[in-house]
Amino acid sequence: MSKVIKAAVVALLVFAQADAQAESLEGQVRYSGPARPAPELPVKHDGHVCGASKPDEALLVDKAGGVRNAVVYLDGVTNAPQPAATTAPLDQKACQFLPHVQAVPVGSTLVIGNSDNVLHNVHGFRDGETLFNLAMPAPKMTIKRKLSRPGLHFFRCDAGHTWMSSYVWTFPHPYYAVTDASGRFTIKDVPPGKYTVRVWHEGWNRKDPQSIATEHVKVEQQVTVEAGKAAKVSFELK
């Protein structure tokens, strides 16, 4: 049997096995640092469209301490099925990117819209360098961009809307999730094994709450997923 066929058979077996025994990994990301009032960011330009102020989206914590918009993913996964590329909508409404944080399979197409009758320019970054910078002066204009590399993408608007920010993660495997309003997440169909589970959060500017944090928060844990029961893990951000 040739090496290729062998590899294919092994991959099929692993895949079938994973499917049969895969479990979900559930948990919560919580905030346990000092109380931090979410300030309103002042709007100094285009107030007629943007409003007088915008909510600070950096650290969204519910009453029970759950952190929204954290991205949880398995690191160092090999032999994972490649998820099908999809579309990732990114709208700009009342001078705010919607959604603020999302995660999609690598190769997905970002579909950027502008619901505001004002100039936005979508300045995309990957690894801190410009990925593209496109003006969107007209509502109803749509821009499509394929995100062909795995990793973190950051979007801002240079047209005087300093508070606008959005993060898009792309993954080459299906084992990721974005926490909901209560900080909870579920990663489905994880094959049994030992994993490093990483949590990324955009961070919050501890000194100046009115500017976007440049240091992201990253934590990790080792987790063992066993066949027959859902694995649980929780994270604390301080």
Applying CB under 8 A, the residues found at the interface with another protein are 44-46, 118-119, 121-125, 128-138, 141, 143, 158-160, 162, 214
Closest separation in Å from C-beta 131 to another protein = 5
Closest separation in Å from C-beta 147 to another protein = 11
Closest separation in Å from C-beta 134 to another protein = 5
Q: Which DSSP letter does residue 229 get?
A: S
Closer CB to another protein, residue 40 or residue 62?
40
Closer CB to another protein, residue 32 or residue 87?
87
Closest separation in Å from C-beta 77 to another protein = 23
Closer CB to another protein, residue 28 or residue 114?
114
CA distances from 126 to 19, 35, 83, 178, 187 (A): 33, 32, 21, 19, 25
Closest separation in Å from C-beta 232 to another protein = 40
Closer CB to another protein, residue 23 or residue 56?
56
Closer CB to another protein, residue 60 or residue 136?
136
Distance, CA of 72 to CA of 29 (rounded, Å): 9
Give the pairing type, strands 184-190 and 23-31: antiparallel
Order of strands, edge to edge, in the sheet holding 23-31? 184-190, 23-31, 231-237
Distance, CA of 194 to CA of 231 (rounded, Å): 11
* Contact by Cβ (8 Å): 178, 70: yes
Closest separation in Å from C-beta 110 to another protein = 12
Residue 128 CB burial class (10 angstroms; 0-12, 13-18, ≥19)? exposed
3-state helix, strand, coil in the chain (%, to 5): 10, 45, 45
Closer CB to another protein, residue 157 or residue 233?
157
The phi, psi pair for 224, rounded to 5°, reads -105, 125
Closest separation in Å from C-beta 31 to another protein = 27
Three-state DSSP state, 14: helix
* Contact by Cβ (8 Å): 104, 86: yes
Closer CB to another protein, residue 18 or residue 119?
119
